[in-house]
Structure 1
Amino acid sequence: MTTTTESLSAAPTLPPVTLRIGAESRTTGAGTHEHIDPATGKVDALVPLAGVSDVDDAVQAAHAAFAVWRATPAGTRAKCLLKLAQLVEEHSEDFATLGIADNGTARGTLYATVTAAAEWIRYYGGWADKLPLGRITSVVGAGGSFGHTLRQPYGVIGTIITWNAPLMSLAMKVPAALAAGNAVVVKPSELTPFTAMLFAGPAREAGIPDGVFNVLSGGPEAGAALVEHPLVKKVTFTGGPETAKKIAASCAKTFKPLLLELGGKSANLVFADADLDQAAMHAAYMAFGVMSGQACALPTRLLVEESVYEEFAAKVAAIAGYFKVGNPQEIDTICVPVINDAAIARIEGMVSRAKNDGARLLCGGERLGGELAEGFFYPPTVFADVAPESELAQKEVFGPVLAITPFVDEAEAIALANGTDYGLSGYVWTSDSRRSIRLAEALETGDVAVNGAQNAVAERPFGGIGHSGTGNEGGLEGLEEFFWTRVCRLRQRLEVTMGAFRHAY
C-alpha cells in the first residue's frame, strides 16, 4: 500500500449550497449543517437545511409543474432528457470536482460515474416517446364492451438519495420518473449537497421546466416531511434498512407506494477452475477501489473453494497492498477516505470484534495516521477464516474491509452465499458455463455477475430482495415503477338488461 498527501489542503473553492425550489434558489432554510471534507477533516461549507415549510413549497411547486410536464409532448420530454445527458457529460469536470467535495470519491471513479450517469439518462430519454401506454381489450357480441388500460404518471415523486453515490442515485431515479411524466423533489443527504445542486443547472438548461426538478438538502426532518406530504404520490429511497423501515411505516399510513434500494452483503464465489489472477484483481478492486467499500452492491464477502483458498487469499491481500491510498484529487489514487468520523468508529469496532471472533487479519486493520490522520482514511483490510455466522460475514461494514471464507463444494458455496438477510448482488468466477448457469439461478439475489460482468447498467433492472429492498431501477422495469394503471371501459349499448347483468355477475 502506498499513501499520498499531495495537495490535500489545496481544495477548490466551493459554490454556496442553495435550496432549488421551482425557479427559486434559497440560501437559507430551517438550519445549517457544517460540511466536512473527508480528506482533511475540516469544515469547507455551510449547508442550508430544508425545513417543513421549504418541503411544502417544493412539493407545491412540483405539483403545479407536473400539470405542465405531463401535458408536454412525449417527443419534447425525450429531447429534454437526451439534452440533459449531453450536458452532464459536458460538465464532467464540475461533477468530478463537486463529487470529490461531497464525499471524497476518487477523481478517476467520478469520471467513470459521469459516463455511466449520462448513459442512464440517455436510456430513459430514449424511452420517453415510446412509453408502454397500455393495451386494448374487447368483448364481442351483443352487450359486449370495449376497454383499454392507461399507464398514468403518479404526479410528485419524493426522491431521497444516499450520500455514497449522489450522481448515480440521481441518474437511476430521476430520468425514469421524468420520462414517465412525473415531477420530482429530491432530498440529497446533508453530507453530500453539491452534486444534486449542480444537476439542477443542466436540467434547466436542457429545457426541463422549473418545478419539475427540485432539490432540498436536509436531514431526517426534511425527509419525514417529504415522505408524509399528501401531494407526494410515491417515494423512492436509496439508503440503509433502518431508515427504510421508518419510511415504509410512514407510507403505510396512507398506503403510499414506495421503491427501496437498500444495502447488501454480496458474496463473490471463486471456484478453483476460475482465472485466479483476474478474479483476485476484481475482488480487490471491487472491495477497496470502488469508493473504499462504501457501496451497497460491492462483493464484500469472498467465498473461495478450499483447494485454492490460501493461494487466492494471499493474492488478494498482495494486490490490496499495492493500491494507492490518499488524495482523491489525484487521478492515480485508488483508495479514498470514508465519509466521516462516525464511519471510522463503526469500521474500527467491527474490525476489533472480527479479531476477537478469531478471523485472521492479512493486511490493514488500523486507521491511517501521519499526514493522513486528520482525514478519515482507513486502509484496505482483508480478513481470512471469517466464520459464516459472525458479524463480519452478516453485516454491512460500508468501508474497505473484505471477509474471506472457504467452501468445500458448490452446494456449500450456495448455502453460504444465501445465508444472510440481504439479497442484492452476487458474483461468480468459474470456467464451467453450466455451473455459472446453475449458480445464477440458485443465488437469491436481484443480480448475478459472472466472470467480471458489469452489474447495475441502465438497460437491465437492478434491485434486491429481503433487507436489500423492493422494486427495481434500470430497464423497462425501472420505468414502470413510475406509472400506475387505470382501466377505461365502454359498453356497446347504453342500456343494460337484467339478463346481461345476471350473465356478467
Structure 2
Amino acid sequence: MTNSHYIAGRWVEGQGNDCISVNDPALGQPFAEFMAASVAQVDQAVAAARSALPAWKSTSASERAAFLRGFAEQLGQRREALIALQMRNNGKPRHEAEIDLDDAIATFCYYAELAEQLPAKHRDVPLAAPGFTARTRLEPVGVVGLIVPWNFPLVTSAWKLAPALAAGCTVVLKPSEVTPLIEQAYGQIADALGLPAGVLNIVNGKAETGAALSNHNGLDKLSFTGSNSVGSQVMRSASAQCRPVTLELGGKSAIVVFDDCDVDQAVEWIVAGISWNAGQMCSATSRLLVQDGIADALLPRLQAALENLRVGNPLTEEVDMGPLTSQAQWLKVASYFATAREEGLQCLAGGKALDRDGWFVSPTLYTDVPKHSRLWTEEIFGPVLCARRFASEEQAITEANDSRFGLVATVCSADLDRAERVADALEVGHVWINSVQAVFVETSWGGTKGSGIGRELGPWGLSAYQSVKHVTRCLG
C-alpha cells in the first residue's frame, strides 16, 4: 500500500518516519504496510480543514444531513468487504463485525436526523428586563481532531465523525496504527459523495503523528478515545492550548448479581460482558460481584460456560471469541496471568495463553480476588473476569463504586425496584439492568471519575461539537 492518507480531498503517500505494519491477529502475521503521515502532512491536513470550514459550516442543515445519509448508504454498500476486514484485522467473530457495521450506519442516520432539526434550535430567549431582545445560536466548534482506538475502529470513528459533520465542523481523523485500514472507507465514501475537499481528512500514524495532531494549535477541539495514559497526555496538550477536549477513557466495570436472579440467565449476561471483542472493551464488566446466596450455584456454571466458548480464527472457524487484536495486548494480558500466579489467585477457568498460532488467550475466571489485587483494580483489556462475593445491597454498591473508574455497570436482579435503586446509586455513566451491553445511538456514552470527560452519542454527542452564541439587542 502507498496512498493511505486522505488530505484535502486527495489520497497521498505517507512521508513520516514510521512504517505501519497491519497484522492478522489470528495468524500473528502482517498483511499490509505503509508509511505514516509526517508532521508536515498533519499540518497540511489541519490547514485543509481550516480552509474548508467557512463554506462547510455555511451549508444548510439539510445538505449536511444528505451527506450523512450518503455515508450510511455507502457503508451498507461496502458491507461484506468491511465485515471481512474487521474479522481479519481485529479478529472479531462475524456476528460482532456485523453489529459494528450496523452501529456505524445507525449513527450516521441518527445524526442526519439531528442535523435536519438544527434550524429549530435557533430561538428567541425571553428576558425579564424590558428594552432588549435576545436570541441563541448553536454554531460549529470549528476544526476538530478525532483520535480513535483499535478495539472498535469503525464504530468509534462514526460516533465522532457523524456529529462533527452534522454540527458543521471540519475534521482531521487519526485512526489507530493497529487497525488503520477500515477508516479509509470514510475517505473513499467522501470521494464517492463529492464531499467538499478538506471537510474530512485522514492521517495515519503512530505516536509521532498522534502527538502532532493533539498538540496542533490549528485545532479548535480534540476528541480522543483510548487509554488513560495517552488520554492524560492529550489533556495536557489541551490545557496548554486552553482548548476543549472530549476524553473517553478506561473502565473497570462491575456486574452485580443478586441471589434472586435466574442462574443461567445471569451466566449469559456475565459471559457477554467479559468475552465480547475478547474483553477488549473499556466497558467490559470485568469485576463480578455475586451475592452469597447464589454464588455456589453460579460460579461452577460460569466456569463451564467460559470453558465451552469456542475460541479461534473467525475467518476459518465458527467461533464465539477471536484473538486479541495485537501482540502488545496479548503480552499485556499474559503479564496479568503471571501476576495472578504470583498473587496466588484461585483460577477456575483459563489463566493462560493458548498454544497455537496467533494472539489467543483463554477466557479466564478468578474467584475470591482481594480488593488490593492488581487484577481487581486495573484495566486488563482482555477476557479476564475477577469475582468477589457480597452479603447486602449496601455492600454491593460500596464495592462496585470502589474504583477510580466510572464508565458502566450491569445489575442483575428479579426485584426491579432494587435493580433500579442500585442503578441510581452506582457512580458510572451507563447502567444496564438484566441485559447484555446494548448500546443505542439515542443514549449517551461516557463516564465519571477516571473514565473521561464529556459524552458521545445522543444529542449530547452533537452538543460536543457545538458552541453556544447569544445575540442581545437593545431596542432603544
Q: CA deviation at 1:203?
A: 3.1
Q: For residue 205 of structure 2, what is the aligned residue in structure 1? A: 218
Which deviates the most, 308-317 or 154-163? Answer: 308-317
Q: Where does structure 1 differ by over 4 angstroms across 4 or more consecutive aligned residues?
A: 138-142
Whole-Å Cα distance in 1 between the matches of residues 96 and 380 of structure 2?
21
Whole-Å Cα distance in 2 between the matches of residues 138 and 340 of structure 1?
56
Say which one has the larger Rg. 1
Matches within 5 A, 1:222-241: 222-241=209-228
Whole-Å Cα distance in 1 between the matches of residues 437 and 90 of structure 2?
24
Q: For residue 123 of structure 2, what is the aligned residue in structure 1? A: 135
Q: For residue 85 of structure 1, what is the aligned residue in structure 2? A: 72
Q: For residue 435 of structure 1, what is the aligned residue in structure 2? A: 418
1:333 is aligned to 2:314: no
Say what the alpha-carbon RMSD is for the aligned residues: 1.6
Whole-Å Cα distance in 1 between the matches of residues 427 and 438 of structure 2?
15
Cα deviation digits, residues 183-207 of structure 1 (max 9, x gap): 1110011111111112221233234
* One of 10, 14, 21 as aligned partner of 2:7: 21
User: TM-score under structure 1 normalisation?
Assistant: 0.91
Q: For residue 282 of structure 2, what is the aligned residue in structure 1? A: 296
Contact 1:101 1:194 survives alignment (8 Å) = no
Contact 2:409 2:432 survives alignment (8 Å) = yes
User: Kindly, what percent of the aligned residue pairs are identical?
Assistant: 33
Contact 2:16 2:37 survives alignment (8 Å) = yes
Contact 1:326 1:336 survives alignment (8 Å) = yes
Cα deviation digits, residues 356-406 of structure 1 (max 9, x gap): 32321011112111xx2x311111111111112211111111111111111
Matches within 5 A, 1:90-489: 90-131=77-118, 133-139=121-127, 144-288=131-275, 290-330=276-316, 332-369=318-355, 372=356, 374-452=357-435, 454-489=437-472
1:48 is aligned to 2:31: no
Whole-Å Cα distance in 2 between the matches of residues 47 and 276 of structure 1?
50
Q: CA deviation at 1:35?
A: 2.2
Whole-Å Cα distance in 1 between the matches of residues 419 and 320 of structure 2?
30
Alignment CA distance shift 1:126-1:141 (3 Å):
closer
- How many residues get paired? 474
Whole-Å Cα distance in 2 between the matches of residues 17 and 457 of structure 1?
35
Letter in structure 2 aligned against 1:285: A
Whole-Å Cα distance in 2 between the matches of residues 25 and 215 of structure 1?
9
Q: CA deviation at 1:300?
A: 1.0
Unpaired runs of 5+ residues, structure 1, are: 1-14, 494-505
Q: CA deviation at 1:471?
A: 0.4
Cα deviation digits, residues 18-60 of structure 1 (max 9, x gap): 0011221112321322222211112211132111101011111
Q: CA deviation at 1:158?
A: 0.3
Q: CA deviation at 1:100?
A: 2.4
Cα deviation digits, residues 290-314 of structure 1 (max 9, x gap): 1100010111111100111122111
Unpaired runs of 5+ residues, structure 2, are: none
Whole-Å Cα distance in 2 between the matches of residues 104 and 460 of structure 1?
27
Which deviates the most, 241-250 or 207-216? Answer: 207-216
Letter in structure 1 aligned against 2:124: I
